[in-house]
Amino acid sequence: RKSLTIGLIPADGIGKEVIPAARTAIEALGSDIPTPKFVDLIAGFETFTRTGVALPEETVDVLKNDCDCALFGSVSSPSKKVVGYSSPIVALRKILDLYANIRPVVSVSPNPKEPSKVDMIVVRENTECLYVKQEQQTVGEYGKEARATRLITERASTRIGKMAFELALARPRKHLTVIHKSNVLSVTDGLFRESVRAVQLQDPKFEAVTVAEQLVDSAVYRLFREPQIYDVMVAPNLYGDILSDAAAALVGSLGVVPSVNAGDNFVMGEPVHGSAPDIFGQGIANPVASIRSAALMLRHLGYAEAANRIDNAVDSVLREDQLLTPDLGGTAKTQEVTEAIVKRI
């Protein structure tokens, strides 16, 4: 590869403030990676209100045909149904078959010699569960009734299971926790649980991974009581969404937690947080989640050295420079933090 074509989709709200920060971090890498070429692409609620479509065809075509990878910011999805609108990120994950959402949650202790209290990866299935968005409302004997379809397939559970085993195998502790609620949902979560467990029998190398199982509610409890017990967690879509936001609270802020949406042929970095309308426009959004998402994307593409350079720079700025945005208790602006990280890179 001579160059790396990266689609940039800031979308809505603070996505517009933090994706440019991630771009500067990548540019600072110099010759550690093939020459990056950035392509600006649009999507989101603002795009929808302006053009009538949340995810323009051109954005999808360019991602599919011209890009090696992409960075996505955040969308503002209204909680009330807006006719004709549906979330472009949920659609993109499906269209590009980005079936795994990988979310490392790591605490940075002020003392570099002290081990991290939290050091885990939440592996979230990204294409099904309640996110198939098949909802209906009817009127029953006692009034309105609403139902949603929750889809779990063997295929999706097996491939997310494989991804989780691979990730666990690459870590020192090699520990995997399978999250489910099959005491209540024995058919759907039962299939998820069995499919993931069956992955271990398919490849002898996975024998090295220690597997535990946990009900999702008690997993949340233990996550808050003793987060250090977790290494890699694998979960169906909704549980994974909730668990990774919860885990973010343990490391200070959603503003520092990165993710990638990964498939077999494409990877898209994305901060875990949303569009944060409460702080948008003030220049105080934490750029760390997006910058770490860029690193994670590069790591996934095989550029581990470049990813380490970004991650180390971020750690130094948080730990040594103590340059913190308000979500972490500081007063620094997005731009100051970004400049400090770029300098460290």
What's phi and psi for 196, nearest 5 deg?
A: -65, -45
DSSP lists the bridge partners of residue 278 as none
The correct pick among 47, 59, 74, 316 for binding K ion (CB under 5 A) is 74
Residue 241 appears among annotated catalytic residues: yes
> Judged by CB under 6 A, does residue 268 bind ligand NAD?
no
Residue from 241, 311, 315, 327 carrying the catalytic annotation: 241
Asked whether the beta carbons of 101 and 247 are under 8 A apart, the reply is: no
Write down the catalytic residue from 217, 221, 264, 343: 217
Nearer to K ion, 74 or 188 (CB): 74
> To which H or E segment does residue 121 belong?
strand 119-125
Q: What are the helix (H) ranges across the chain?
A: 15-27, 45-51, 57-66, 88-95, 154-169, 188-202, 216-225, 237-250, 288-300, 304-319, 334-344
Judge residue 284's burial from the number of C-beta atoms within 10 Å of its C-beta, 0-12 exposed, 13-18 middle, 19 or more buried. Answer: buried
Please report how close the Cβ of residue 242 comes to ligand NAD at its closest, in angstroms: 11
d(CA 276, CA 135): 27
Show the site string, 66-85: x = touches ligand NAD by CB under 6 A, - = not. --------xxxx--------
Residue 279 interacting with ligand NAD (CB under 6 A): yes
- 276 in contact with ligand NAD (CB under 6 A): yes
Does 125 interact with Mn ion (rule: CB under 5 A)? no
How near is the Cβ of 285 to K ion at its closest, in Å?
A: 12
Instruction: Return the residue of 119, 125, 231, 241 that touches Mn ion, per CB under 5 A.
Output: 241
54 near ligand NAD, rule: CB under 6 A: no
Quick one: residue 175, left, alpha or beta (phi over 0 = left, psi -120 to 50 = alpha)?
beta
Residues that bind Mn ion (CB under 5 A): 241, 245
Residues that bind ligand NAD (CB under 6 A): 14, 18, 74-77, 89, 253-255, 273-279, 285-286, 289, 325, 327
